[in-house]
């Protein structure tokens, strides 16, 4: 099986001591493609170094994470724009709005997302959205910017069925991760009946490890656990889920 982890921070400090082994474990588990979201200017070098060392497996995005939007966000966005003009990237992201950690920066976060929506359209790249406690706020900006060319994924989707359908209506996919394996994650009420063409698989490692590793460091080698759970909820063979989600990722990210 050829799985694609559509969202993994494999360049994270948490993998500093065993990054090579971790990526080899992923490969052995069938995870042949990993898409890496950027966070801010400090994550760029290590992310690109990881991509350079594992060019067949790891592919970089470029963006500014909403939790890293501060008063200097405009300077950060100039750097994002500069990198996007210099070389190819798989997507603009991760970007979006996060109202879980800090509501006081909402105005800055909205402006940063507005700029990155424009960059995605300018460079004809998909948009990778972070929407923690902010589905409505994020979606309002996406809808305002949707001119028929905007596409992407609501990463780490854990919303309602109505929100899933709204994201799909806007031309976006849903990134499904470890939350699908959680007893009270809620996706058991959302995924059944959704078409595979709208789904991507992701780990969001080192965060959100699936059961039975919940609470521990997550890694791409655990992606088959998520694939199996998604297959179970959709009533499909796991091979069909793996093939479809990998094709979806290849198409979305032009891999």
Residue 162 has pLDDT above 90, yes or no: yes
> What local confidence, expressed as pLDDT, does residue 101 receive?
87
Q: Tell me if 198 is assigned to a ligand binding site.
A: no
Residue 221 has pLDDT above 90, yes or no: yes
Mean pLDDT for 96-103 is: 94
Q: Tell me if 102 is assigned to a ligand binding site.
A: no
Q: Which domain holds residue 161?
A: 3-253
Asked whether 122 and 147 are in contact (CB, 8 A), the reply is no
Instruction: Quote the number of domains for the chain.
Output: 1
pTM above 0.95, yes or no: yes
pLDDT tens track for 104-151: 999 999 999 999 999 999 999 999 999 999 999 999 999 999 999 999
CATH number for position 85 = 3.20.20.140
Q: Tell me if 114 is assigned to a ligand binding site.
A: no
> What local confidence, expressed as pLDDT, does residue 1 receive?
82
Give the number of other CB atoms < 10 A from CB of residue 75. 10
Half-sphere exposure of 145 (CA within 13 A, CB side): 23
Give the number of other CB atoms < 10 A from CB of residue 122. 12
Q: Tell me if 130 is assigned to a ligand binding site.
A: yes
Q: Tell me if 40 is assigned to a ligand binding site.
A: no
**For the range 75-80, what are the long-range contacts, defined as Cβ-Cβ under 8 Å and sequence gap of 24 or more?**
76/40, 76/41, 76/112, 77/112, 77/115, 77/116, 79/41, 79/44, 80/38, 80/116, 80/119
Give the chain's length: 255
| CA–CA separation, 147 and 160 (whole Å) | 25
Mean pLDDT for 70-93 is: 97
Percent of the chain with pLDDT strictly greater than 90 = 99
pLDDT tens track for 2-20: 999 999 999 999 999 999 9
Residues 6+ apart with CB under 8 A from 7: 35, 37, 94, 128, 153, 155, 156, 175, 177, 200, 202, 203, 204
Query: From edge to edge, which strands make up the β-sheet containing 152-154?
Result: 92-96, 127-130, 152-154, 172-176, 199-201
Q: Tell me if 94 is assigned to a ligand binding site.
A: yes
Residue 199 has pLDDT above 90, yes or no: yes
> What local confidence, expressed as pLDDT, does residue 5 receive?
98
């Amino acid at each position: 099986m050829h799985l694609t982890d559509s969202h993994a921070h494999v360049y994270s400090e948490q993998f500093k001591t065993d990054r090579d082994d971790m990526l080899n474990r992923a490969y052995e588990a069938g995870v042949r493609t990993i898409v890496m979201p950027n966070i801010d200017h400090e994550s760029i070098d290590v992310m690109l170094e990881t991509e350079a060392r594992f060019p067949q497996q790891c592919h970089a995005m470029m963006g500014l994470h909403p939790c890293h939007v501060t008063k200097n966000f405009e300077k950060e966005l100039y750097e994002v724009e500069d990198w996007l003009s210099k070389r190819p990237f798989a997507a603009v992201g991760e970007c979006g709005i996060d109202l879980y950690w800090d509501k006081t920066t909402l105005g800055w976060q909205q402006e940063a997302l507005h700029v990155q929506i424009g960059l995605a359209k300018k460079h004809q790249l998909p948009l990778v959205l972070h929407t923690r406690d902010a589905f409505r706020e994020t979606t309002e900006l996406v809808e305002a910017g949707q001119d028929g060319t905007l596409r992407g994924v609501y990463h780490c989707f854990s919303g309602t069925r109505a929100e899933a359908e709204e994201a799909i209506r806007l031309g976006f996919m849903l990134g499904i991760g470890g939350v699908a394996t959680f007893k009270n994650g809620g996706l058991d009420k959302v995924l059944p009946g959704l078409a595979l063409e709208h789904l991507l698989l992701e780990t969001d490692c080192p965060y959100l490890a699936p059961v039975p590793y919940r609470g521990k460091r997550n890694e791409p080698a655990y992606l088959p656990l998520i694939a199996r759970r998604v297959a179970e909820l959709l009533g499909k063979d796991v091979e069909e889920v793996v093939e479809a989600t990998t094709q979806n990722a290849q198409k979305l990210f032009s891999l």
